Amino acid sequence: MKEFLQKLSNGHSLEKDEMRRAAHQLFNEETTDSQIACFLTLLKMKGESVEEITGLVEVLREKALPVKSSMSGVLDNCGTGGDGSHSFNISTTSAFVLAGAGIKVAKHGNRSISSRTGSADVLEHLGISLDFRADEINDLLSECNIAFLYAPHIHSGLKRIMKVRKELKIPTIFNLIGPLTNPVELETQLIGVYRRDRLETMARVLHELGRRRAVVLNGADYMDEASLAGENHLVLLENGRITSFTLTAEDVGMPHYPNSMIKGAGSSENAAILRDVLEGKEGAHLDTVVFNAGIALFAHGSVSSVAEGVKAARDSIASGKAINALQALVEYSQSKRKQVI
């Protein structure tokens, strides 16, 4: 680890192979907590490069729970968090809308870190398991169109690094890479980031990781979700080409809502919001989910425009297919518990 710390302290970036070797050292018991903290801090001070992010993600995915899927077109719509908006669980709710629209969704997520309620918190409240086996994840994608991958279960070797992160109390490279570490071989992806200056960087990492198509976005007021409150900044990755564009509610014929109307609360309140949206309760929550799901459908490539995606998202909810996707995942979890008993 010493050589990597020295190079970073001199302000130089690591090549991808160097970052891969450094990442393996992070898991080495001989590497001290102080060295891990120093490494993460130096990376942050310098600014993490595409090669550094890619190298670390590759190693984390290699060390994750091995999930082999032969399915094509699988998508994840996980955000980085860290925007401080305290919104309800927008991407989690959107995932069920996507599943209802026929998309295979491998939803990667965690408990609350920067928000009041993380995806795992709200899904657990709804009765969904957090410890699906690798073979169960494939079954879920096949039977329910959606599987939830709980980050601490998928990446069980990261406990010591997480401890160091909590002690540092500053954002590090790990605040950016969560959505990138999904062990499922994704073809497409929607990622929301809290840093607008990282949109193109994240798109280039997604290209290095083999994504055929993806959208990276930063919402109005720097949310890590698309917002109906103003101008959203997005980049589209398609076959290696990156295109930047902006998007507002008016662009897709949707109403304007201030972000104050989409704040979340505890797990029970956010679970109720999720159910209300999937059952078609009109308002800011539903429209925000439809907007984000529409962008995800565009990222997937199953629609040719976000406006077309918005229509498909509304149809998923109105037809009852979105709420059925939630119920299918709950029922699978219940049958899993009965087998254990």
| Annotated binding-site members for Mg(2+) | 91, 224-225
Non-local CB neighbours of 327 within 8 Å, separated by 6+ positions: none
Point out the annotated binding site for anthranilate. 79, 110, 165
Point out the annotated binding site. 79, 82-83, 87, 89-92, 107-115, 119, 165, 224-225
Measured CA to CA, the distance from residue 159 to residue 204 in angstroms comes to 28
Q: What are phi and psi of 135, to 5 degrees?
A: -70, -30
| End-to-end Cα spacing for the chain | 46
Non-local CB neighbours of 162 within 8 Å, separated by 6+ positions: 152
Point out the annotated binding site for 5-phospho-alpha-D-ribose 1-diphosphate. 79, 82-83, 87, 89-92, 107-115, 119
Q: Are 310 and 286 in contact (CB under 8 A)?
A: no
Measured CA to CA, the distance from residue 30 to residue 19 in angstroms comes to 18
Which two structure tokens, joined as six digits, stand for 208? Answer: 């290095």
- What Cα–Cα distance (Å) separates residue 140 from each residue in 100, 123, 137, 202? 13, 15, 5, 28
Q: Are 123 and 148 in contact (CB under 8 A)?
A: yes
Q: Are 177 and 56 in contact (CB under 8 A)?
A: yes
Measured CA to CA, the distance from residue 238 to residue 235 in angstroms comes to 10
Could you tell me how many residues make up the chain? Answer: 341
Number of helices followed by number of strands (H, E) in the chain: 15, 7
Got the DSSP string for 103-168? --EEEEE-S-SSSSS-HHHHHHHTT--S---HHHHHHHHHHTSEEEEEHHHHTGGGHHHHHHHHHH
Q: What is the CA radius of gyration of the chain?
A: 19
Q: Are 74 and 105 in contact (CB under 8 A)?
A: yes
